[in-house]
């Protein structure tokens, strides 16, 4: 029995040396599975934890450190893992904010800066974005979601929709609107000078040219009709383009449903 015991110990020691030589999680776990009551158990578990920690350090990612903590909730490096996760989270947020601000500057529009500020209201670039916004005109259109037709208008047959578009500038920068396009339903854009036999836009105003003063307003009135009722129930989409007093492009849109 003594001989068997000594042979068993020798075999266990040999396998421990082999596991040490391989120095992998798989080797140590195989040893623990074979010798769960060995006096090497604590040492094996420590080596497994060290290997997991080294892997987390090498990856240097939030996911890597979270995996370590999941495997070793009471491990020796849990405190440091939490600190590294927090540091990496800050770095990721700062990188994302920098990328978003670079995009806002590249687009260089009122919308791009307001989008940035909505995501990072108290970020490193908040003041810069707020300052940039002051140079852009902001134009608002007030209009209902649906427009009812008139029964008669200049003796035109079929339903006629008369619409008055009111523009308001609310950021203290003047703007000139000098282009318009129109889409009705699923059709393509119809520019102001275009017309067809069934869809007529006002021919009395070939182009939209409006000068809107800072914090002021301007409007125009026009109409559209469809003698055979083709447009009833469809959505009209008007798009306006211009330039503000600081040379920035301005784009404004409005949609409304045509109802009889």
pLDDT, mean of residues 138-143: 94
Per-residue pLDDT reduced to its tens digit, 17-65: 999 999 999 999 999 999 999 999 999 999 999 999 999 999 999 999 9
The terminus-to-terminus CA distance of the chain in angstroms comes to: 104
Q: pTM score, two decimals?
A: 0.64
pLDDT of residue 40: 94
DSSP line for 195-234 = --SS-EE-TT-SS--EEE-TT-EEEEEEEEE-TTSTTTTP
Token digits for 220? 């125009």
At residue 200, the pLDDT reads 45
pLDDT recorded at residue 189: 52
- Could you give phi then psi for residue 97, rounded to 5 degrees? -65, -40
Q: 191-237 pLDDT, tens per residue?
A: 443 333 334 444 434 568 899 999 999 998 888 887 778 888 989 88
**Distance between CA atoms of 94 and 101, rounded to whole angstroms?**
10
Q: Which domains does the chain have, with CATH numbers?
A: 2-59 (no CATH), 139-259 (2.60.40.10)
pLDDT tens column, 146-157:
999 886 666 667
pLDDT beyond 60 at 185: yes
If you average pLDDT over every residue of the chain, what do you get? 87
């Amino acid at each position: 029995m003594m001989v068997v015991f000594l042979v068993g110990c020798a075999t266990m020691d040999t396998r421990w040396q082999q596991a040490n030589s391989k120095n992998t999680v798989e080797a140590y776990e195989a040893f623990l599975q074979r010798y769960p009551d060995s006096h090497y158990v604590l040492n094996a578990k420590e080596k497994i934890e060290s290997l997991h920690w080294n892997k987390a350090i090498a990856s240097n990612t939030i996911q890597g450190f979270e995996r370590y903590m999941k495997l070793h909730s009471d491990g020796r490096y849990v405190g440091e893992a939490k600190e590294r996760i927090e540091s990496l989270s800050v770095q990721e947020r700062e990188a994302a904010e920098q990328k978003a601000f670079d995009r806002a500057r590249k687009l260089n529009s009122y919308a791009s800066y307001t989008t940035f500020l909505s995501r990072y209201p108290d970020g490193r670039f908040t003041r810069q974005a707020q300052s940039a916004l002051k140079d852009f005109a902001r134009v608002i259109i007030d209009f209902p979601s649906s427009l009812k037709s008139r029964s008669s208008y200049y003796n035109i047959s079929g339903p006629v929709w008369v619409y008055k578009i009111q523009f308001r500038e609310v950021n203290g920068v003047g703007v000139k609107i000098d282009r318009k396009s129109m889409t009705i339903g699923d059709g393509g854009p119809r520019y102001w000078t275009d017309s067809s036999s069934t869809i007529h836009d006002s021919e009395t105003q070939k182009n939209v040219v409006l000068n809107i003063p800072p914090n002021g307003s301007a409007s125009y009135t026009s109409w559209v009709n469809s003698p055979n009722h083709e447009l009833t129930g469809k959505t009209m989409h008007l798009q306006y383009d211009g330039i503000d007093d600081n040379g920035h492009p301005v784009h404004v849109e409005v949609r409304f449903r045509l109802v009889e």
